[in-house]
Amino acid sequence: MADRVLSTRKSEGSDKKETVKLSVDSDQLMWVEKYRPKRLADVFDQEQVVSGVQALMKRPREMPHLLFAGPPGTGKTSIALCIAYEIMGEAWPDYTLELNASNERGIETVRERIKNFASYGDRREGIPFRIVLLDESDSMTSDAQTALRRIMEESSKTTRFILTANYSSNIIEPIQSRCSVFRFSRLAEADVVQYLKEICKREGVKFEKEALEKIYEATEGDMRHALNMLQAASTLGDISSESVNKVTGLSGKSKVADILDLAFQGEFQDARNKMIELLQVGGMSEHDFIKFANEALTRSDFASSIEAIQATAEADYRLLQGTNPDIQLSAYLATLAKIGTEVSRSKKKI
Amino acid sequence: MMLSERVRPRKIALLIGNEQSRVQLIKWLKNWKIGSKAVLLIGPPGVGKSTSVYAAASELGYSVVEYNASDVRTKKRLSEALSGTLENASLFGEQEKMLIFLDEVDGLSGRSDYAGIEFILEFIENATVPVAMAANVEDDPKLRKLSQKSQLIHFGPVNEDLIYIYLKTIAKREGLPVSEKALQQIAVACRGDVRFALNMFQTLIGDSLSSFQTDKQFFSEASAMAAILDSNSLEEAIARLRQYDASPLEKVRAIFDSIVSAKSVSPEERARALELISDADILLRQINKNQRWRLLRYLDRYLALALISRKLKAADSSIPWNLRLAIWNDGRVTKEFLSELPEDFHVGKNEFAVFYLPYFSFYFKNRSSDLTKFLQKYEFGDSEKRVMLKIATEH
């Protein structure tokens, strides 16, 4: 692996930090992996978390289980992977089990797969313990979490757990009390823009500062999303407001917003076909659809429509029962179409 | 009602593809005597397994009694159903020969609540009538015993040129103006699944269906649905729904499709009707989950309320055919992406689908040399390339 660390003086922006270091893995095509920090020192944000973790790294053998809580794209997984690298070096992938929400993580998996992995002690030099990285662990059922709690206790001689979650409150108390909890804050605009700038320079792409700010705004501080957006925009030449505009609509999230707009305009059939396409061809889960619909609703003209909010909550609840997503989401879009038509009718009367 | 049902060949020689397998099946039934093995037909959906059984039976003078996974789900129910059948058989044994057909036997074993395989084993060993079974996969461990005790007949996907000619023949016979290009597309897209090809074909020709010459069965099914949709009172609709011979799931789907494709309903009407269908869906889910069959009696009521006085027309599918084609062709490649790629990016499938894949697609569309590298790294071929380039533009 070819690693190179670039150091650049910060010319403007945030005044709390002097330099941004880029960690570069030039084997990677996609920037989101190419520029993922490898060592804790490469992490450009979350100073509090990083200094806390670095303190723990002075005596790695005594490291407790960790719980990282915070919004998506703020570096939770990256810092967890950095820890694995700091402790075990290049051999880390062999001693790390990474499971995220899309892996089967019911109680069976916890009992079998995690337990098997975690109970195995390695007598290799430089491998003080194994690491189990459970991403999005707040999506695990509480039964599975309870099973996990036992395993964390039983295997603490051989294994450390790093759990990430959007909200620590969704993690059962007994697990929280067994972990050092680190809270990740949303990345600041100045920091993200500065980081994107460095990447543009490294990639030889010209940019407008306003365009980078626009990327930050569109991705709400989610670094992975911002990097993917930046890389897509870079194919259109300079990173300008125009090129960014062309890529902000690409994500599945913004497509959900488009579908809601169509529904509110009364274009039910069109909205439904696009919804089916997004799920069946685009691979979005029905639960994500309703999650993003809820987010889009709060930004739409219908943000204060009690009916629309109720319909969203109802659809979410029904989907959780394991019902037919096509029927439930179609019924949801039909309700939004009804609300949209009623509102436009009453506006006309006025 | 469905084209695939209407054109289902009644003679075994009229099927397309899998000729060897059909010969084996006919030989088995012709030489069958008490003590002969049962047959297990193995092959992907839509290649003619059930059709061959029905055609062979009818040509050799057997009537078919069919059970599939949705009919019988527990050992108790299965044994009730089958022993009832056998009693009937002895009553009518003189006049009529009977063949028992167990469809989707792999569908049975996949369910954890199902204890039927052992029972089927016992049943086929002591059967006094020929038993044919069908399954999609062979390597299901639960089916292993069953395959050891049966004569296996394999069915494969039907050749696309055969399907093309077949569709062309139907189009010609029915006087339908369908372009050859569309037929070719369907023949390729269906990947050897004749039923799927016919369904796509039917969606393509859409309304011209009504001018089709109809056979008896088609007429009765279509008119049943039309009668349901045409009911004048709630009681009438409920009564007709009750008579309609379809599974609860099929009923919900049929009425859902009709509501969704209805053009002349107001947004309020549509929302109200779909709300009721959504309630019916919840009810059905509760019934299936907790085996509360008693609750089924309310299902027809919900459906009747949803359709009453809404002037609906029966619809075969509420999803346009080009979208179905895309789901069929591209959806499975997306699934492949989502099962292989997210791990390398340390994210879950759901996030990868939303925040990665569309940008990757856009990037690769404009950077073909990187696309080549990417495809090579994951050993992806042409279909992955096509779908990767399509994602950013499509939706």
Q: What is the pLDDT of residues A154-166, one digit of tens each?
A: 888 889 999 999 9
Last residue of one domain, picked from the residues A183, A204, A229: A183
The reply to whether residue B395 touches residue A136, judged by beta carbons under 8 angstroms, is no
The reply to whether residue A30 touches residue B345, judged by beta carbons under 8 angstroms, is yes
What rounded mean pLDDT belongs to chain B? 80
Q: What is the pLDDT of residues B201-223, one digit of tens each?
A: 776 665 344 333 333 344 456 67
The reply to whether residue B268 touches residue A338, judged by beta carbons under 8 angstroms, is yes
Q: Which of B367, B353, B364, B355 is nearest to B390 (CA)?
A: B364
What rounded mean pLDDT belongs to chain A? 88
CA-to-CA dists, residue A209 to A204, A215, A326, B209, angstroms: 15, 10, 42, 59
Q: What is the mean pLDDT of residues A84-101?
A: 88
Work out the percent of chain A whose per-residue pLDDT is above 90. Answer: 57
- A275 and A244 in a single domain? The answer is no
Q: Tell me the one-letter amino acid at A89.
A: G
The reply to whether residue B348 touches residue A136, judged by beta carbons under 8 angstroms, is yes
C-alpha–C-alpha distance, residues A338 and B271, integer Å: 6
- A125 and A195 in a single domain? The answer is no
pLDDT of residue A345 exceeding 80: yes
- A176 and A224 in a single domain? The answer is no
Q: What is the pLDDT of residues B342-366, one digit of tens each?
A: 989 999 899 999 999 999 999 999 9
The CATH number of whichever domain residue B266 belongs to comes to: 1.20.272
Least confident of A79-93, A202-216, A230-244, B76-90: B76-90
- A175 and A284 in a single domain? The answer is no
Q: What is the pLDDT of residues A20-73, one digit of tens each?
A: 778 888 889 999 999 999 999 889 888 889 989 988 888 888 889 999 999 999
SS (H, E, C) chain A: CCEEEEEEECCCCCCCCCEEEEEEECCCCCHHHHCCCCCHHHCCCCHHHHHHHHHHHCCHHHCCEEEEECCCCCCHHHHHHHHHHHHHHHHHHHHEEEECCCCCCCHHHHHHHHHHHHCCCCCCCCCCCEEEEECCHHHCCHHHHHHHHHHHHHCCCCEEEEEEECCHHHCCHHHHCCEEEEECCCCCHHHHHHHHHHHHHHHCCCECHHHHHHHHHHHCCCHHHHHHHHHHHHCCCCECHHHHHHHHCCCHHHHHHHHHHHHHCCCHHHHHHHHHHHHHCCCCCHHHHHHHHHHHHHHCCCCCCHHHHHHHHHHHHHHHCCCCHHHHHHHHHHHHHHHHHHHHHHHHHC
Please indicate whether residue B217 or residue B25 has the higher confidence score (pLDDT): B25
Asked if the C-beta of B395 comes within 8 angstroms of chain A's C-beta atoms, the answer is: yes
The pLDDT value recorded for residue B7 is: 78
pLDDT of residue A344 exceeding 60: yes
CA B311 to chain CA centroid, Å, is 28
Q: Which residue of B has its CA nearest to A102?
A: B348
Q: What's the structural domain count of chain A?
A: 3
Q: Which of A267-281, B233-247, B293-307 has the highest mean pLDDT?
A: A267-281
The pLDDT value recorded for residue A7 is: 39
The pLDDT value recorded for residue B68 is: 64
- B326 and B386 in a single domain? The answer is yes
Q: What is the pLDDT of residues A144-192, one digit of tens each?
A: 888 888 888 888 888 999 999 998 888 998 888 888 999 999 999 999 9
B298 CA: distance to closest CA in chain A (Å)? 17
Q: Please, is B208 exposed, middle or buried when counting C-beta atoms within 10 Å of its C-beta (0-12, 13-18, 19+)? A: middle
C-alpha–C-alpha distance, residues A117 and A132, integer Å: 8
Last residue of one domain, picked from the residues B137, B154, B171: B154
Asked if the C-beta of B256 comes within 8 angstroms of chain A's C-beta atoms, the answer is: yes
- B256 and B344 in a single domain? The answer is no
B114 CA: distance to closest CA in chain A (Å)? 20
Q: Which of B251, B283, B362, B368 to mutate against chain A (most A CBs within 10 Å)?
A: B362
C-alpha–C-alpha distance, residues A29 and A235, integer Å: 13
Work out the percent of chain A whose per-residue pLDDT is above 70. Answer: 92
Reported as a pLDDT band with limits 50, 70 and 90, residue B77 is low
Q: How many residues comprise chain A?
A: 350
- A56 and A150 in a single domain? The answer is yes
The neighbour count for residue B48, using CB atoms within 10 Å, is 23
Reported as a pLDDT band with limits 50, 70 and 90, residue B200 is confident
Reported as a pLDDT band with limits 50, 70 and 90, residue B76 is low
Residue A62, in any domain of the structure: yes
Q: Tell me the one-letter amino acid at A79.
A: I
The pLDDT value recorded for residue A232 is: 96
- B204 and B226 in a single domain? The answer is no
For residues A223 and A192, the answer to whether their CB atoms sit within 8 Å is yes
- A144 and A198 in a single domain? The answer is no
What backbone torsions phi and psi does residue B204 show, to the nearest 5 degrees? -60, -45
The pLDDT value recorded for residue B276 is: 93
The pLDDT value recorded for residue B85 is: 59
- B259 and B174 in a single domain? The answer is no
The CATH number of whichever domain residue B180 belongs to comes to: 1.10.8
C-alpha–C-alpha distance, residues A56 and B308, integer Å: 68
The pLDDT value recorded for residue A84 is: 94
The pLDDT value recorded for residue A211 is: 96
What backbone torsions phi and psi does residue B345 show, to the nearest 5 degrees? -110, 10
Q: Please, is B355 exposed, middle or buried when counting C-beta atoms within 10 Å of its C-beta (0-12, 13-18, 19+)? A: buried
The reply to whether residue A33 touches residue B345, judged by beta carbons under 8 angstroms, is yes
Interface confidence, given as ipTM, is 0.88
Reported as a pLDDT band with limits 50, 70 and 90, residue B89 is low
The CB-based long-range contact list for B172-180 (8 Å cut-off, 24+ gap) reads: B174/B212, B174/B213, B176/B205, B176/B208, B177/B208, B178/B204, B178/B205
Question: Which residue from B344, B363, B395 is facing A282, i.e. has the nearest CB?
Answer: B395
Q: What is the mean pLDDT of residues B129-133?
A: 90
- Residues near B164 by beta carbon (within 8 Å), at least 6 away in sequence: B183, B184, B187
The pLDDT value recorded for residue B71 is: 54
Least confident of A156-165, B20-29, B301-310: B301-310
- Which residues between 335 and 354 in chain B have a beta carbon less than 8 angstroms from any beta carbon of chain A? 335, 337-338, 342-351, 353-354
Work out the percent of chain B whose per-residue pLDDT is above 90. Answer: 29
- B134 and B34 in a single domain? The answer is yes
- The count of CB pairs under 8 A between chains A and B is 176
- Which residues between 41 and 100 in chain A have a beta carbon less than 8 angstroms from any beta carbon of chain B? 72, 77, 81, 98, 100
Last residue of one domain, picked from the residues B318, B348, B367: B318
Question: Which residue from A235, A252, A269 is facing B367, i.e. has the nearest CB?
Answer: A235
Whole-model pTM over 0.80: no
Q: What's the structural domain count of chain B?
A: 4
Residue A29, in any domain of the structure: no
Asked if the C-beta of B386 comes within 8 angstroms of chain A's C-beta atoms, the answer is: no
The pLDDT value recorded for residue B145 is: 80
Neighboring chain A residues of B275 at a CB cutoff of 8 Å = 331, 334-335
Asked if the C-beta of A341 comes within 8 angstroms of chain B's C-beta atoms, the answer is: yes
pLDDT of residue B246 exceeding 80: no
pLDDT of residue A118 exceeding 90: no
Neighboring chain B residues of A225 at a CB cutoff of 8 Å = 355
- B148 and B174 in a single domain? The answer is no
The pLDDT value recorded for residue A161 is: 93
Q: What is the pLDDT of residues A213-264, one digit of tens each?
A: 999 999 999 999 999 999 999 999 999 999 999 999 999 999 999 999 999 9
- A139 and A96 in a single domain? The answer is yes
The pLDDT value recorded for residue B207 is: 39
C-alpha–C-alpha distance, residues B293 and B290, integer Å: 9
Least confident of A125-134, B62-71, B300-309, B346-355: B62-71
- B12 and B105 in a single domain? The answer is yes
- A50 and A177 in a single domain? The answer is yes
The reply to whether residue A283 touches residue B353, judged by beta carbons under 8 angstroms, is yes
Residue B344 structural domain: 321-393
Q: Which of A287, A324, A339 to mutate against chain B (most B CBs within 10 Å)?
A: A324
- B203 and B142 in a single domain? The answer is no
- A64 and A127 in a single domain? The answer is yes
- A131 and A220 in a single domain? The answer is no
Residue A320, in any domain of the structure: yes
Asked if the C-beta of B383 comes within 8 angstroms of chain A's C-beta atoms, the answer is: no
Residue A67, in any domain of the structure: yes
- A228 and A305 in a single domain? The answer is no
Residue A174, in any domain of the structure: yes
Reported as a pLDDT band with limits 50, 70 and 90, residue A206 is very high
- A154 and A194 in a single domain? The answer is no
Residue A333 structural domain: 253-349
Residue A26, in any domain of the structure: no
Residue A236, in any domain of the structure: yes
The pLDDT value recorded for residue B87 is: 54
The CATH number of whichever domain residue A126 belongs to comes to: 3.40.50.300
